[in-house]
Structure formats: structure tokens, C-alpha cells
Structure 1
Amino acid sequence: MRSALCIYDLDQQAAEVLFATDAHIEAPNWHPDGYLIVNSAGRLYRVDMARPELTPIDTGFAQACNNDHGVSPDGQTLAISDRSRTDGSCIYTLPVSGGTPSRVTQQLPSYWHGWSPDGQRLAYVGRRDGPFALFTCQLDGTDETCLTDGFDHVDGPDYTPDGQWIWFNAERDGAVDLWRIRPDGTDLQQMTADSHVNWFPHPCPKGAHVLYLAYPQGTDGHPANRDVALCLMPADGGQTRQLLQICGGQGSINVPCWAPDGRRFAFMRFC
């Protein structure tokens, strides 16, 4: 099965393949300098837009990275989730050009998903003494704060560009919907209530839309290689627009993938 790294243009309402490979690659981020970062087989790679190919990023001892990684708002730091030295996924930060990772989370497992717009806090999911929940912490791992309870599973938190909300997907009573909550844990709001299994919401950098992945009704978890839809909804909720159907799911848009201009985003499809 081939991996295709694609770019969707909202103005053109079309997607094009930037790079295709027989290697299994997942979870593109869009760096402010105009290149992409992807995961493959526990390693991270840079993909330049002008000459797309997989260029390894030096992550030091972290050789078992999962696909939960992303770039700080200033473009200088990379957050990764890795289990090379721990029994479960642990969050680290390192220079975006590569280097030695610095440990952030002491409690495991922890899976990174978002930076606050001011670059001072991280949003992630973790399991402590119950199901996976939404947490935030300072960059040094202090002040770990749980924002959610009462869900069977939480995943995919991502901040809005004004820092006023954290969007996430969560399962309750068998339904997986999109939700948002204030960074202080107040004002929880349900944003979808349809028959689809909705995952990985990503607010647009310009604040107008939220991109997300919709599985068919009855899907368990977020499996790979399924017929899924990439959808767009207004930032304050409302009518959803389906952009396209792809073979994907796990690895397609697990992490923030918007271009800084808010008119394009990167995603993976598999065929």
C-alpha cells in the first residue's frame, strides 16, 4: 500500500499529491517556513515542498516516535511523543532542526496534540487512573491539569488560534463527537451530534473553520485504511461541509496540519 502526502486547497476545492512513496508515512505538520514534517517507522522526516523527499530529522535517542508531533507557534521547537526510554508514550521537546530531546511529561502514557498560541502550554491526552483524558501543562511539564472527566475516551486536542478554546473528540455512550472547552476547563460544549464517528478537529489558523475526520457510523476507534471523509465546519459550529472522501483514517490528520495562510492543509491518503 502506497502513502500519498497531499495538499488540499480551499480556493481551488481540490487536492493534489505532493509526494508518494511505498514507505508508510503519517501525520503531516506544516512548518511556518513552508515544509512538512511526517512520521515513518518511529522516525520523523522533513519534506520540502519544492523538492519533496524524506529527509531525516535528528531526534537523538528518540527512535520510537509515534505520529503525535508538532511545531511550536514560533517554528523553533518540535514536540514529539516517544517511548524509547519509557514504558509508555512520553512527550519531549527538541529544536525543530534536530537535537537531544528534553523530557516534558513525567506521567505516562502522554500523547502530544497541541501548542497554545503563545507557545507556553501543551495540550495532550493521557491515561492516569481511568480512561484517556485531556491535559495541559507548562513546557517543563509542571502544572499538569486535567480538563475533562465523564468521557469514555478523549483524543486529538487542538487550540483555536485566539487561545480561547481547545477542541477535541470524545466518546460517550458509544458516540464519538467533537467538543470544545475553555483552557481553564470551563464551558464544555458539544459541537457535533450526528451519526458519524468524528475525530481529530483542527481549527484553522485564521479562525474561520475547523477541519476534522469523519468515519462511518459504527467504527470502533480510529483505524487505518478505511473510507473516511475530510470535513469542514464553521469555527463556532453549524453546517458541516464534506471536502472529499479518501482511503485513510489513522495517520491522515492526527495532528495540526494547516498551512499558516489557512487556505491549505496537508493530509495522508493510502492506496
Structure 2
Amino acid sequence: MASRFSLTPVLFRTLLSATFGGLCLLGQTTQAEGSGKELPVHRIPNIGAAAEFYFAPDSQHIIGTAKREGDAAHHVYTLRIDGTEIKRINDRGEDACSFFFPDGKSIVWTSTRDHLDLPKGNFSDPRNYPQGAELYRSDLDGGNLQRLTQNTQYDAEVSVSPDGQWVLFARQTNGKLDLWRARPDGSQARQITHLEELQPGGAFYLPDSRTILFRAWKQADEGRKGSLPMAIYTIQDDGTGLRQRTHDEGTNWAPYPAPDGRHYVFVKVLPERNYELFLGDLESDEQVRLTYDKAFDGFPAISPDGHWLLFASNRTNGTEAPLLTLYLMDISSLHVGPPARTGIQAEAAPQWKTFISATQLQAAWGDPKLLVIDARSPQDYAAGHIPGAINLPGLLWRTAPTKVPSQEGIGSYIFRTPEGKPDVDRYEAFLGKAGLTREQRIVVYGGHAGKADGTVPVAILQWLGHPDVRFLDGLGLDEWKRLGQPASTEARVLPPAVYQARPDEKHYWNLDQVLSHRGDKDVVFLDSRSASEFEGKELRGNKRGGHIEGAVLLNYDDLLDPVTHKVLPPDQVEAKLRALNLPKDTEKVVVIYCQTGTRCTLKEIALRDLGYRNVVSYDAGWQEYGNREDTPIVRFPPTSAPVK
């Protein structure tokens, strides 16, 4: 049996002992304990003892693990939802979680087939997970087998992003679970979560192919008697934006997203160890109960068309022994499928993750973890601010300009020591003194994006690895007032706290890195200044004007609505980048720069929100590059050779 949702070992042994054979009747409808409350349910025939199955893109085929007659262990099977076309994929070792790729032509699955010499372990006991579990990709019949992981760790709980770009899985190292992602060929494996106390797993992408839904328990709770407390969370696949979705102290597990991108189905353990299915709402946090049977109901999945809820249960009709097998519930009346379309309609406009509206901020009001930061001057803050906001002016987030030791010229690194090293200690002290902690959900506002009192604090917090930081798009306080909300003149000061940064070492580049990658075909320099600065006509106090050799120009102003000062919609920004031959699936490193690392923060955030994977900022910018004598410069019109 797969371990994606990790029931307690005692319950698993109880359920898995009921592996009675025999065929079932198609369309046999069961009557639940709460008769009349459940939507229509019928059993899938012929598969026998089975659990944790997931739909193919056609909503007619499913894949999962079963133990059929003649099987010494659980193996991956595919079949139609009418119980026909049953096909075993593998016959070596023991198999676990499996999933279809969105093209419907290949599958990914977990098995111990290549580590039969290692201890067997137990897919249902996190203290004894099989360390020989590996990920495999194959055709629908098990052919063209490709092993995706190459280690003796536990790699399982696998799924695939709806756009087919990423394989998502859980990896256990020395007893610690974390979420990972890799390309469909196993390359570019990267750890997503770094949660010290939690054991995350059972993860699936939402339809946006960026947000991940998962469950987690506390490692300290492993081995305790009774049901294991779990909560459901979402996180972005770059490791930011962690948010807890269920808040009771019970067991909430097995979450699976609906194709509408808003709802999800999950299992909640009710009193007397009653495992029931619920429908959750990511917008309202409302929960609706779907099953009413004292038997075990679990391992839910929703079909891509939103018509079927697939789950495993050992419910009976009173005339046969209990068998953990597969059931379908018709949930078409719940309308959780893809957004309905009539005629020719435009797709719903995608939204930014980091840039939020005042309406979104208002909706989060009352969240005890919400912290609003006013990045304007103390004078503006005193004149009126969003109620409850603290004041951390944007200029305080920058380090003072420092002399470059070996050259004349000035380096205005926004986060470094005078020696040019990341000044993590300074920021931990600065944020701790202000009362910030990693647990807070931070919203920054001030001027518009690309300003020192705008997105500079957001970019720095992202560099420091803060899990959830957003920016109030537009002109901050004005956006708040347009909703009819009041301003406050009551200052708020938080008690000091301890801030622990987890900086991304690849977030920023220094001058040496810039110079060493000039002419590199795998690096693109993206200039965020004005055309006149790019051409060398406007010096802005620098000794020399122009741009870095090979740079392309996209003024930060070009990403803002000239009237509202809000960031343009994601599709419009992406179109501007594509016009520069910078599609979001590019593998090139995009190095963004401006004058002093201020304007480029808008593009840093926007590109990461859009899904660009290799984005860095040269934060010293032209204030350093244009004031040295040893940096090659290009002016417009370009000369035959770089101007030195």
C-alpha cells in the first residue's frame, strides 16, 4: 500500500488484513450511515483489494496500487473506471504511489524493484519507510522504463504538475521528510520545503502548476497512540508562501485539489476513529462533509472533469466481509470541475502571487499572523496609515553606500557589508528589533512597485527566505482608502523578536560575477533603467553612461499602468518578456540591474511570480558599474567595439 497519506501503522495493519478476494457488481450502490446525505456512490468491480488511485487526463482511466490474486506484494495497476482493462505495470519488489502525466501517454510510480537487497521497510510507517523506494517513469504498459532517482533514500508520494513540467515527490533523509521536485527525466531535482518541525508529504499541484497542496504532521508526534494529528497546507513550488489551511488539532490528511483551483477534498478523522471525506474551500475555509459511513473512507481523488470522486473504503452492504477497495461518488452537482465556458470566452486572467490588491488585504484582515508594514517615511506614516501597520521606511532597508576597496567608484549593494559579503547579521538584527518573525504573513505597502518605499523591502525579505511576503499593488494607502477603509494615526511598535534568515545565496550577483559572465550565451542582462540611461545620454551623476555589453532594455516603468501605477497583468508582462526572446521556460540566467538595485526589484518579483527559475539581481547596478574605469561599456548607437 502506498504511503502518501500515512495512516497510523495500527490502522493500516487493520485495513490491509482485509484482503478478501472475489468480484464485485458494477453499479452496486451502498447506503451510508447517514442515508440520504451522501451523493450516489458505487463500487468499481473486479480490482479487489486496492487503495490510492488517481485519474488519467481522460477521467475514464485510473492508476494506483492493488494486491490481486497471485501478487506477493502491492503493485501498480491501471484500469478503466468500469472495472475493465486491468493491467499490472510492474512485478518486482513492492510498489507505491503512482500518477499519470498530463499527456496521458506515460506514468510515474514508486517501487523498491531495484533494491531487493535492502530491508523491506513499511510504506505505512514513517519510522520505517523503505529506503530503497525509487521513482520510475514508463509507458502505460510499463515499457520504456526510466529510473528518475538514484539513491537509497525514500522517494515516493509522487505526482505531476498539470503543465507536465515537474514531478513532485516526498523524500525522507535520516527520518526527515521534505517535498522535492524534478523535471520529468529526473534532472534539476530541488528541495522545496525546509520545515524543521513538520513532516510534509502527500502533495499535489493545483491547476496553476505553481501552488502545492499537502499535509504534514509534527515529527515529535510520530509513534504516539491514537490518530496522528495532521494539518493541510499550501505552499508555492519555490518554497515561499507557506499557509496552513486546517486549524483544528485532529487528523486532516489526504488532500487532493479540485480542477476548479479553489476546492479540495480531504479526509478528517471524527470521534471514534471515523474516517470521513470532506470538501474544503481555499478561499473561505468552509468545509462540507461528503461521506457518512462508520467504515473507513479515504484516499480521495477528483476526476479532471470534476464529475467523479474516487476513494477507497471498506464499507459493505451487510452481506459480505469488509474489503478495502475502490468506490466512485458522482459529485457533478458540486460544480468543482474546470470553469464552465459557453461560446468563445477569454480565459480568466491570471493573477499575481506577490502583488495583491487592497480587496485581498481586506479579506485577510483578522488573521492573527498578518503583519502590515508601511515602508514610507516616518512623516507620512504619522499623518495616516493602514490601521495596525508598523513603520519601517524603505531607506532603512538599504546599507549605506560603501567604497569599493580596490577601485575608485562606489558600490551601493543593498544588502552587503563594506567588503561586499551578504550582511545577514545586520538584517536579522534589524528585523528582530522591529519585532518580525518568520511566522508572520507580511504585506508591505508604500509607493508603487520599483520604489525604495515600495518593493525593496519585499525583495529583501524574499532573499532572506521569508515564507510569506506580499506587496500591496498600486499606491498603497490610497488603494486602502478607495475601499472606504479608514486610516489611523496611532503608531504601532512590536516587542523585539528573534528573526532567523534563510538567505538564498544565488539571489544576487556582485561585480566579479557580472564581469565573468559577459558574453556568456546562457546569461541575459536585463536593464531596468530608462532608454536615455541605457543609451548613455543621461548620466544621473555617474562618470560614464551606457549599458553592459549584450544587455536588453525593459524599463521598469513599462511594467506599470501609467494611470493606476499598478503592475500590468501577468500575461501582458510575459508578452513583453517574450518579445525580448525571454520566455518563462528559458533555462538562461536572467541578471536584472538598474542604478542602485531599486527599480529592478519590480522585475525580480514579477519574473519569479511568472515562473522564471533563474533570476538574479546585480544590486550595485550602474552606480558601481558606471563609476569604475575597468568595466566595458556599450553606448547607443553601438560602436564597433565596447567603449572602455
What is the TM-score of this pair, normalised by structure 1? 0.75
Could you tell me which amino acid in structure 2 is paired with residue 25 of structure 1?
D
More helix by share: 2
C-alpha separation in 2, matches of 1:16 and 1:53:
20
C-alpha separation in 2, matches of 1:72 and 1:2:
28
Shift of 1:147: 0.9
- The match for 2:167 among 60, 78, 84 is 78
Shift of 1:32: 2.0
Could you say if the C-alpha distance between residues 185 and 92 of structure 1 is closer, same or farther in structure 2, counting changes exceeding 3 Å? farther
Say whether the 8 Å CA contact 1:177–1:197 is kept in structure 2. yes
Q: Does 1:27 align with 2:97?
A: yes
Task: Count the aligned residue pairs.
Answer: 226
1:95-120 deviation line (CA, Å, top 9, x unaligned): 11112421111113110321110112
**1:248 aligned residue:** none
**1:179 aligned residue:** 278
State the SS of the aligned residue for 1:127: strand
Aligned-CA RMSD value: 2.4
**2:312 aligned residue:** 213
**1:146 aligned residue:** 244
What is the TM-score of this pair, normalised by structure 2? 0.33
Say whether the 8 Å CA contact 2:99–2:108 is kept in structure 1. yes
1:199-235 deviation line (CA, Å, top 9, x unaligned): 1110000111110111359xxxxxxxx9312000022
1:242-253 → structure 2 map (5 Å cutoff):
none
**2:257 aligned residue:** 159
Could you tell me which amino acid in structure 2 is paired with residue 44 of structure 1?
L
1:194-209 → structure 2 map (5 Å cutoff):
194-209=293-308
Say whether the 8 Å CA contact 1:44–1:65 is kept in structure 2. no
Shift of 1:145: 0.9
State the SS of the aligned residue for 2:89: strand
**2:107 aligned residue:** 36
**2:139 aligned residue:** 48
Could you say if the C-alpha distance between residues 2 and 109 of structure 1 is closer, same or farther in structure 2, counting changes exceeding 3 Å? closer
More strand by share: 1
Shift of 1:66: 4.3
Could you tell me which amino acid in structure 1 is paired with residue 109 of structure 2?
V
- The match for 2:193 among 88, 105, 112 is 105
C-alpha separation in 1, matches of 2:288 and 2:144:
41
Could you say if the C-alpha distance between residues 236 and 113 of structure 1 is closer, same or farther in structure 2, counting changes exceeding 3 Å? farther
Shift of 1:51: 5.2
Could you say if the C-alpha distance between residues 50 and 231 of structure 1 is closer, same or farther in structure 2, counting changes exceeding 3 Å? closer
Shift of 1:20: 4.1
Could you say if the C-alpha distance between residues 17 and 44 of structure 1 is closer, same or farther in structure 2, counting changes exceeding 3 Å? same
Q: Does 1:168 align with 2:266?
A: yes
Could you tell me which amino acid in structure 2 is paired with residue 55 of structure 1?
Q
C-alpha separation in 1, matches of 2:153 and 2:314:
27
Could you say if the C-alpha distance between residues 51 and 125 of structure 1 is closer, same or farther in structure 2, counting changes exceeding 3 Å? closer
Could you say if the C-alpha distance between residues 17 and 145 of structure 1 is closer, same or farther in structure 2, counting changes exceeding 3 Å? same
Shift of 1:60: 5.5
Q: Does 1:133 align with 2:204?
A: no
Could you tell me which amino acid in structure 1 is paired with residue 210 of structure 2?
Q
Say whether the 8 Å CA contact 1:109–1:126 is kept in structure 2. yes
C-alpha separation in 1, matches of 2:284 and 2:183:
30
Shift of 1:74: 0.7
Shift of 1:21: 0.5
**1:263 aligned residue:** none
Could you say if the C-alpha distance between residues 2 and 126 of structure 1 is closer, same or farther in structure 2, counting changes exceeding 3 Å? closer
- The match for 1:9 among 80, 89, 96 is 80
Could you say if the C-alpha distance between residues 24 and 51 of structure 1 is closer, same or farther in structure 2, counting changes exceeding 3 Å? closer
* Residue range with higher mean Cα deviation, 196-205 or 63-72: 63-72
Say whether the 8 Å CA contact 2:156–2:171 is kept in structure 1. no
Q: Does 1:231 align with 2:301?
A: no
Shift of 1:53: 6.5
State the SS of the aligned residue for 1:123: strand
Could you say if the C-alpha distance between residues 110 and 24 of structure 1 is closer, same or farther in structure 2, counting changes exceeding 3 Å? same
Shift of 1:149: 2.4
Say whether the 8 Å CA contact 1:3–1:20 is kept in structure 2. no
Say whether the 8 Å CA contact 2:306–2:332 is kept in structure 1. no
